[in-house]
Amino acid sequence: MEPLLCWPDPPPHDVVRSLDMAGYSWATATDEASVVAGSWAGAIVDASDDADGAFTFARMLGRGDLGIAPLLLLVRGSQLGELESRHELFEDFCVTPFHPMEFEARLRHLLTRQGVLADDSETIVYKALVLNLETYQASIDDDPLDLTYMEYELLKFLAQNPGRVFTRETLLSRVWGYEYYGGARTVDVHIRRLRAKLGEQHAQMISTVRSVGYRFGESRWG
């Protein structure tokens, strides 16, 4: 695989550490000449410290004559409101500070979706739950689950992140998309339906974390 383009130079320490731990090759580029001089599998642009510079650089990468994709944008939580009007600049984003596992999972998903990496994970298995990512089928204790598209997408997202707690707002953003304007009740309704379909024995796979949101599986902290 070609190296990943990182901006700015030098990249943040946590980005470098995560890329090195996951075995990705990377290099920096700061202007059009250095971008053109290289061959890239994708780009990681950190907007957390210099948003204007990052958006300008990302816009350049997306130009037709360069076409560097996919692009993962790193932002602070306070910058999420700025993304809606700039959605054409990136394929996915990750909020900093991030956990290395989340960063690598998002990057791998992005590269796989864009065909840069081969998809070697067609199923998600958690105890009695099995999700087939190729056929969009799900089963519990070998019994098929009759899920709507959004129920499947929500369950898939949660199952890909076991032990993590997500707010309703984060789930709306990650599953429905940040352009979705439905309220938090949308998440509650889908969670209730998923629990009902998982059945009484398995409903607590999705637990409520009071005043925060929802968690799939057991807590990371016991």
**In the chain, what are the domains?**
4-113 (3.40.50.2300), 123-216 (1.10.10.10)
The per-residue pLDDT for range 166-203, each reduced to its tens digit, is 999 889 888 887 555 667 788 999 999 999 999 999 99
Q: How far apart, in Å, are the Cα atoms of 113 and each of 3, 7, 19, 91?
A: 17, 22, 18, 10
Question: Who wins on pLDDT, 22 or 9?
Answer: 9
Report the alpha-carbon distance of residue 46 to residue 15 in Å, rounded.
9
Segment of 51-55, 177-181, 208-212 carrying the highest mean pLDDT? 51-55
If DSSP states are collapsed to H, E and C, what string results for 43-99?
Answer: EEEECCCCHHHHHHHHHHHCCCCCCCCCEEEEEEHHHHHHCHHHHHHCCEEEEECCC
The percentage of residues in the chain with a pLDDT greater than 90, rounded to a whole number, is 51
Average pLDDT of span 13-35 = 92
221 pLDDT higher than 50: no
Residue 178 or 72, more confident: 72
Single-letter code of the amino acid located at 157: F
Beta carbons within 8 Å of 132's beta carbon, 6+ residues apart: 122, 123, 138
